[in-house]
Amino acid sequence: MGHRTDFLYMSEPDVIAAGVLDARKCIDNAEEVFKLLAQGDYLMGGPSHNSHGMPIVFPKETPFPNMPVAGPDRRFVAMPAYLGGRFDICGQKWYGSNKENKKVGLPRSVLTVTLNNKETGEPLAFMSANLISAARTGAVPGVAARYLARKDSEVLLCIGCGAIGKSCFDAEITQLPNIKKVICNNHSPAPAEKLAQHIRDTYGLEAVVEPDLETAVRQADVISIAASRTAFLNIKGEWLKKGCTILASGPLHFDEQGGSYEEDGGMWTKMKLVYDHTGLHHAYVEEAIASGDKENYYAGVIGGPIYHLIDKGMMPSIDDTCAIGKVILGEQVGRENDDQIVCFIACGMAVFDLGLGYDLYQTALEKGIGTKLLLWESPAQME
């Protein structure tokens, strides 16, 4: 006897109707996922169950005329995961990226999320995920702002003012009740002007564009970094205010302050470091070693400068460093005092897409959002 299987298709407008733009809801969801990560109730890819995903990186040259070749930010990534707790769901984020997309009216990345029954593998939902990915990316530093930032912070600096920078701001501002001024810094002025206008129009806050990085950093109580991953941002430690909170969702270098990066690790060793999830960073290091070119691999991930310093014995091992999930659970201490500079490192994990996607799926079922699609009335092949 056969078994009917259908699933819910959710377009981008469906995802919006289900609440993907509700920043507080997304932060609460991400906080719950962080707890499950800290407790170990999850699985991702790779032998350690912590891999970010399996990428297809295109070659620089190929004898095959139809095979794509390398280009700026061009890749596909499959990101499978299981998320436990009340979610109890399997699924995958599928990620396609090409900087050239903008020339044909598309965003740089085109993303989807699939949710599956953990027992049978049947699809439950197939979802447009560009906004899911942006919302969960913003929600992650939003959680960090909730637990690590000084609540009397008055100046927020946004470095990187594109779609992800905007999502990060929309989440972070919900957790920073005393922000009076927002500074927008971007390598090109138009996105900075656009974000500043969004902030003025939506939140009624003072928002200014400051192209000079030093001038911007010296004013900031909280720094949100969502700049491009194609180049590391260079900030001098001497620019940072006491008690500053850095929310790094993009690559970051610190120049010298009372010592150089090469001599003693510089600013990295002088502040409190908080990871999103230590297991992910272990996986990055393992993959770097397996690649045979650790230096090049480190250059492509946000935690790269930290891994270098750990390898040289200049910083504590990954396991001896703080993780936000354990801070939430009360097992570790995040910010220790008001003068401490705290840096949160966020690299992104598919479990967050699954967690947010699951809640949007449940809302869609409750409200009749989305379109039911048939996989089969009865499977033609039973073997």
pLDDT of residue 262: 53
Same domain, 168 and 305: yes
Residue 209's pLDDT band (cuts 50, 70, 90): very high
Q: Same domain for 177 and 320?
A: yes
Give the residue carrying structure tokens 């409190």: 272
- Note whether 113 and 92 are within 8 A (CB): yes
- Do 180 and 327 sit in the same domain of this protein? yes
Together in a domain, 93 and 236: no
The answer as to whether 138 is a domain residue is no
The answer on 161 and 127 residing in a single domain is no
Q: Which helix (H) or strand (E) holds 94?
A: strand 89-97
Asked if the structure places residue 141 within a domain, the reply is no
R_g of the chain, CA atoms, integer Å: 21
- Is there a domain that residue 358 lies in? yes
Same-domain status, 157 and 287: yes
Q: Structural domain tally of the chain?
A: 2
Q: Is the confidence at residue 77, as pLDDT, over 50?
A: yes
pLDDT tens, position by position, 149-203 = 999 999 999 999 999 999 999 999 999 999 999 999 999 999 999 999 999 999 9
What amino acid occupies position 321? T
Percent of the chain with pLDDT over 70: 96
Q: What is the pairing mode between strands 342-345 and 272-275?
A: parallel
Mean pLDDT value across the chain:
93
pLDDT digits (tens, 9 = 90+) for 89-147: 999 999 999 999 999 999 999 999 999 999 999 999 999 999 999 999 999 999 999 99
pLDDT 10s digits, 219-275: 999 999 998 655 668 899 999 999 999 999 988 888 654 444 555 568 898 999 999
Residue 372 lies in a domain: yes
- Residue 73: predicted pLDDT: 86
Q: What pLDDT score does 257 carry?
A: 46
Structure tokens at 106: 């598309």
CATH number for the domain spanning 287: value is 3.40.50.720
Q: At what angle do helices 163-172 and 23-39 cross, to 10 degrees?
A: 90
Mean pLDDT of 295-300: 85
pLDDT at residue 343 is higher than 70: yes
Q: Would 14 be classed as within a structural domain?
A: yes
In a domain, 54, yes or no: yes
Q: Is 273 exposed, middle or buried (0-12, 13-18, 19+ CB in 10 A)?
A: buried
CATH number at residue 53: 3.30.1780.10
pTM: 0.94
The angle formed by the CA atoms of residues 99, 103 and 107, to the nearest 5 degrees, is 55
Q: Between residues 63 and 73, which one has the greater pLDDT?
A: 63
Same domain, 260 and 344: yes
Residues 179, 316, single domain; the answer is yes
Does residue 108 share a domain with residue 21? Answer: yes
Residue 139 belongs to some domain of the structure: no
The verdict on 369 and 247 lying in the same domain is: no
Q: What is the predicted pLDDT for the residue at 229?
A: 57
Residue 189 lies in a domain: yes
Whether residue 154 sits in one domain with residue 108? no
More confident residue, 314 or 19: 19
pLDDT at 259: 43
What was the pLDDT predicted at 295?
Answer: 85
Residue 252 to residue 234: CA distance in whole angstroms: 6
Q: Do residues 267 and 257 lie in contact, with contact meaning Cβ atoms separated by under 8 Å?
A: yes
Domain that holds residue 58: 5-133+351-376
Residues 112, 79 share a domain: yes
